[in-house]
Structure 1
Amino acid sequence: MSSTNSVPIDTSRPFQLDRTGLRGRSVRLGPALDEILERHDYPEPVAKALGELVMLAAALAGELKFNGSFSLQVRGEGPVTMMVADCTNAGILRGYAAFGEAVPPQATTIGELCGKGILAVTLDQSAVGGETQQGIVELEGATLTDCMLTYFQRSQQIRTGMRFAVSREGGSWSGGGIVVQALPEIGGKAVLRNDDEDDWRRAMVLLGTVTPEELLGPEPDVDTVLHRLFHEEEVRVYPTLALAHGCRCSAERFAAILRGFSPEEVEEMRQPDRSISATCQFCSRTYRFRAEEVDAIETGVRH
C-alpha cells in the first residue's frame, strides 16, 4: 500500500489485512468532534469521555451495513448520569452528556465519572421499517474502550482490538483511533485463516505500538500510520467515509414527542403565556410552540 498523505480529517478509512483477513477502520475527527464538544460547557474529563464515545460510535458504525443510526449510550449512578453518541449510515455524528455539579476535576476513569452503570449499544432502523437491535453490558474497565471490548467479548464473541486518543490541543478538540476485528465472512466462517492464533496476537502487538500522536495526526497521515503498523500484513485500504457533525432535531420531532404525553402532562409544561419551549440536548437549539400550536397538539392527544 502506498500513502498519498491526502486522507482528510473527519473521515473513517476501512482497511483489510490481506495476509490474515482481519478487517478494521481508522478514524480521525477534528472539526466535527470539536463542534460536538464545544456546544456545551463540559468539564474537561466529561468532554474527553464523551469524545471517546463519539470516536467509538464513528469507528464501529463504519463496519455495519444499515440504514438508520448506530448509537452508544452510557447510563450511570455517578456524577455523569448519561452520555450518548450516535452515527448515521451517512456518517452524521452527534453526542451529548448529562452531569451534576460534582464532577471530579482530575477524574481519569469511567468509574470515577459514571460510577456503577451500563453501556447500551443500539442499531435503530425503525425509520425505514427495519428492526431495532440492542445489546447491554455493565461498565467495567478504566475507559469506555475497555467497556466496549467487554461487550464484543461477552455479547458478540468477536475478537476486537482498539486504540483511541482524544486531545484538546491549541484550544480545539481532535480524536483518532484504530479498530481491528476478526469478523465472520458470509456464511459465518471465521475470518482468521486456519484459526491461527499467532496471526491475531501479532496484529494486537502491532496495534499496541501505535502512539497517541500517530492516532491524532494530522501528521503522519492515516495511510502512513497503517502502512507503518501493518505493511507486513499486506494492508489494503478502501475508500473513506466522510464524517460530519449534524443533528436530526426538528419542530416536527418535538411535536411528535409532545403527542406522547397525556393532556395533563402537556398542561404542566405550558409557560405563563400558554406556550411550550423545548431545547435539543444535542445541539442546544430551542423550539417554541405558541399557545395555539400547543392547543392543536392537545387536540391530537385527546383523539
Structure 2
Amino acid sequence: MSSAEHVPIDSSRPFQLDRTGLRGRFVRLGPAIDEILERHAYPDPIARSLGELVLLASALAGELKFDGSFSLQVRGKGPVTLMVADCTNQGAIRGYASFEQGADFPSEEIGDLCGDGLLAVTLDQSAVGGETQQGIVELEGASLTDCMLTYFQRSQQVRTGMRFALKRDIDGSWQGGGIVVQALPDEGGNAPIDITDEDGWRRAMVLLGTVTDDELIGPALDVDTVLHRLFHEEIVRVYPPLQLAHGCRCSAERFAAVIRGFSAEEVSDMQQQDGSITATCQFCNRTYRFEADSIGSIRHQTRH
C-alpha cells in the first residue's frame, strides 16, 4: 500500500484486501462524536452505547451508492428506550438517545441498558424520490456490534467482521474508531472470495482480532499505517476517504411541515398561552419557535 494522502480525523477510509477481494472501512471520529455525546451530557454508559451506534452508522454508510442516509435505531423496554444514529452519503452524522432520568445502569451491556428490544437498519432514499428499505433484528449479544453482526449474518447473509473502540482523551473529549471488513460482491456482482475458501476469511479475521483500541482510536498512528500493519500481507488498497462531520438536518421548514400534518385541535393543544408553538430537535437540541400569527399561514400552505 502506498499513499501520501493525509487521512484526517472525522473520516471513513475505504479499503480493499487485494489478496482476497475483501472490502472494508476504517472510521475515526473525534470532534464530531464528542459534539454528539456532549450536547446532551449523557451518563457515561449511555454515551458509550450511543457512541458505538454512531461509529457503526458512520462505518457502514460508506457502502452507500446513492443519495440518501443509513440509519440505525434501537428501541427497548429498559432504562434506555430509544437510540438513533444516522449518516448520509455526504458524511453528515448525528445521534440521539432517550432514557429514564435517574435510572440505574447495572452495566454497559446493551441488554441491561435497553432490555428486550429491536435494532432497525434503514436505507433511506426518499429525499431523492427513491425507496426506503428496512431490516429488523432482535437485540442479542453484549454490545451493539454483536447485534449488527447478527443482522448481517441472518438478514443479509454477508460475512462481516468488526472491531470498535471508544474512550475519553486526557481532556475528557470523546474519541472513537473502528474497522469493518466484509465479503461484499463487487459492482459486477462477483463474490470477493470463493465461498469454499475459508482460509482467506479466517486469516482476515485473525488479523482484525489483533488490532488494539489505541490503534483504532489513534492519533499516535495514522489510519493507513494501522491498515498496513494489520493487513500488509493481504496487499491493502486504499480509496479516497469520506469526510465526516456532525450535521443535523433539522430546519424551521421541516418542523413547519410537521405542524401542517396535525389537525386544528392537535395544533391548539400544542400552542402555549401566547399562541406560539416551540419545537426542539432531539438530535441537536436546537429549539424553533413559531409565533401565533404565523401558525395559521403555515397550516394553510400547500403541501408538496
- In the superposition, the TM-score normalised over structure 2's length comes to 0.96
Following superposition of structure 1 onto structure 2, how do residues 115-264 of structure 1 map, counting pairs within 5 Å?
Answer: 115-170=115-170, 171-193=172-194, 195-264=196-265
Aligned-pair distance for 1:300? 4.8
Following superposition of structure 1 onto structure 2, how do residues 49-68 of structure 1 map, counting pairs within 5 Å?
Answer: 49-68=49-68
Query: Separation in 2 of the partners of 1:157 and 1:194?
Result: 12
Aligned-pair distance for 1:298? 3.6
Following superposition of structure 1 onto structure 2, how do residues 263-278 of structure 1 map, counting pairs within 5 Å?
Answer: 263-278=264-279
Query: Separation in 2 of the partners of 1:190 and 1:103?
Result: 47
Specify the SS of the correspondent of 1:204: helix
Partner of 1:111: 111
Any gaps of 5 or more consecutive residues in structure 2? none
Partner of 1:284: 285
Amino acid across the alignment from 2:159: R
Specify the SS of the correspondent of 2:140: coil
Amino acid across the alignment from 2:146: D
Same amino acid, percent of matched pairs: 75
Contact 2:260 2:300 in 1 (8 A): no
CA offsets per residue over residues 74-129 of structure 1, 9 Å max, x none?
A: 11100000001110110011110000024434522000110100011111111111
Specify the SS of the correspondent of 1:141: coil
Query: Separation in 2 of the partners of 1:190 and 1:3?
Result: 27
Aligned-pair distance for 1:247? 0.8
CA offsets per residue over residues 25-73 of structure 1, 9 Å max, x none?
A: 0000000100111110210010110000000000000012120111111
Query: Separation in 2 of the partners of 1:138 and 1:106?
Result: 21
Amino acid across the alignment from 2:207: L
- In the superposition, the TM-score normalised over structure 1's length comes to 0.96
Aligned-pair distance for 1:219? 1.3
Query: Separation in 2 of the partners of 1:224 and 1:158?
Result: 27
Contact 1:75 1:81 in 2 (8 A): yes
Amino acid across the alignment from 1:84: V
Query: Separation in 1 of the partners of 2:268 and 2:143?
Result: 42
Amino acid across the alignment from 1:58: S
Partner of 1:98: 98
Partner of 2:8: 8
Corresponding pairs, count:
302
Moved more, 131-140 or 292-301: 292-301
Partner of 1:69: 69
Contact 1:75 1:114 in 2 (8 A): yes
CA offsets per residue over residues 170-213 of structure 1, 9 Å max, x none?
A: 21001000000000124533211463111001100000000001
Contact 1:77 1:116 in 2 (8 A): yes
Contact 1:13 1:26 in 2 (8 A): yes
Contact 1:85 1:93 in 2 (8 A): yes
Contact 1:261 1:301 in 2 (8 A): no
Moved more, 75-84 or 101-110: 101-110
